[in-house]
Amino acid sequence: TVYTCILLISWVGAHMIVASGNNAALGLTTGNLTSMLAYCMNILMNLMMLSMVFVMITMSMASARRIAEVLNEKPDITNPEDPDFDVPDGSIEFKNVTFRYNSKSEKPILENINVKIKSGETIGIIGGTGSAKSSLVNLISRLYDIEEQAVKDGEEPIESYVSIGGKDVRSYDLETVRQEVSVVLQSNVLFTGSILDNLRWGNPEATDEECIRVCKLACADEFIERMPDKYNTHIEQGGTNVSGGQKQRLCIARALLKNPKILILDDSTSAVDTVTDAKIRKAFREEIPDTTKIIIAQRISSVQDADRIIVMDDGKINEIGTHDYLKDNNEIYREVYLQQTNDNGDFDKNGGEM
């Protein structure tokens, strides 16, 4: 429309100028035509803006609808009617646990898991990628609910639950469970703010001394002390100004600040060097003996001194045992163990062949 108008005005205007000759009194001059074009352009531009407003309104209406949809979403996991606020101890039990993320999918992610963990025990979990290690521990803090077992006609219903301290996780108040079960997730985030601010996400009321104590436990104090502003060092959005291993140690410290009954580390020392990793585990053993510790790791060295190790394979528990037992008797564990010990240095043997 804009360009048609310009063409039309120029064409008609030009004809009028030619028809009037050089006699300005009779008709249009070139100057008049130019100003007319400028005015028309102004009007047309504003009309265009007006139509843009309508486009914007339609777009924002669609966005508003999406936001409302998210805000109105009802969570599947809800508090029970009469919630329990007291977690007696850090014992955990999985009984006949089957779990799917999508109820329609055929193969369950976790199948028939049965395991009892005593309070204060250290449990290692090892298994290939996608063997549902994270899914298993996410059930403890009730990030997901387990599947109810279908009852067939005439058969006794099969009891299935995940329990903490002898009581079903579904009977607890959600916030209580999340407070008592501290999870350091596989992918962690730090926020903009000082180190102390970041730690206090775990417990807003923690004193400076408590923060320093947990940093010592997580072996984070040694690098914090070397920073110019120590505990007040500013952390950039997403923790970009600390290294991967430093970030993991800060996240472990943050989880410890909650004083949980159960501590879950999901591959949380993968970027920490083995010496520091061992120091952290030693500190855990000595300083928080009553906390149940569940350590998911890819490195055998991270789990080998655990009381028991669970070997996961494709959503099932392959075997549970101590390091010495599994090393000699479990196929999967032995393979990983040999790969990580004897075969070290294989990269160089072939003279860099790829």
Ligand X SMILES: Nc1ncnc2c1ncn2[C@@H]1O[C@H](COP(=O)(O)OP(=O)(O)OP(=O)(O)O)[C@@H](O)[C@H]1O
Q: Does the protein bind Mg ion through residue 32 (CB under 5 A)? A: no
Fill in the amino acid letter for 171: S
CA distances from 95 to 131, 146, 162 (A): 19, 10, 6
* Residue 109 binding partner per list Mg ion, ligand X, none, with a CB distance cut-off of 5 to 8 Å that depends on partner kind: ligand X
Out of ligand X, Mg ion, none, which partner does residue 130 contact, by CB within 5 to 8 A per kind?
ligand X
Residue in 124, 141, 160 with CA at minimum distance from that of residue 87: 141
Binds 117, which of ligand X, Mg ion, none (CB < 5 to 8 A, cut-off by type)?
A: none
SS3 category, 166:
coil
Nearer to ligand X by Cβ, of 90 and 315: the residue is 315
Query: Cβ closer to ligand X: 206 or 336?
Result: 336
Of residues 265 and 280, the one with the C-beta less far from Mg ion = 265
Q: Which does 135 bind (CB under 5 to 8 A by kind): Mg ion, ligand X, none?
A: ligand X
The least distance separating Mg ion from the CB of residue 312, rounded to whole angstroms, comes to 10
Nearer to ligand X, 109 or 206 (CB): 109
DSSP code string of 168-195: EGGGB-HHHHHHHEEEE-SS----SEEH
Alpha carbons 280 and 268: distance in angstroms, whole number: 11
Does residue 270 bind Mg ion (CB under 5 A)?
no
Q: How far is CA 21 from CA 25, 35, 150, in A?
A: 10, 19, 96
Strand partners, 110: 99
Residue 134 found at the interface with Mg ion (CB under 5 A): yes
Residues at the site binding ligand X, with contacts judged by CB under 6 A: 101, 109, 127, 129-135, 186
Q: Burial, 57: exposed, middle or buried (Cβ in 10 Å; 0-12, 13-18, 19+)?
A: exposed
| Residue 183-222 contact track with Mg ion, rule CB under 5 A, x = bound | ---x------------------------------------
Distance in Å, CB of 286 to Mg ion, minimum: 28
Cα–Cα distance measured from residue 87 to residue 173, given in angstroms and rounded to the nearest whole number: 10
Helix (DSSP H) and strand (DSSP E) numbers for the chain: 13, 12
Q: Which of 262, 260, 261, 280 is CA-nearest to residue 270?
A: 280
- Minimum CB distance to ligand X, residue 292 (Å): 19
Nearer to ligand X, 110 or 177 (CB): 110
- Longest CA span, the chain: 111
The CB-of-294 to Mg ion minimum distance in angstroms stands at: 12
Contact pattern for Mg ion over residues 138 through 167, marking x by CB under 5 A: ------------------------------
Tokens of 13: 């205007």
Indicate the residue among 20 and 134 with the shorter CB distance to Mg ion.
134
The two beta strands, 193-194 and 234-235, are antiparallel
Q: Which partner, Mg ion, ligand X, none, binds residue 188 by CB below 5 to 8 Å per kind?
A: none
Q: Which residues would be at the binding site for Mg ion (CB under 5 A)?
A: 134, 186
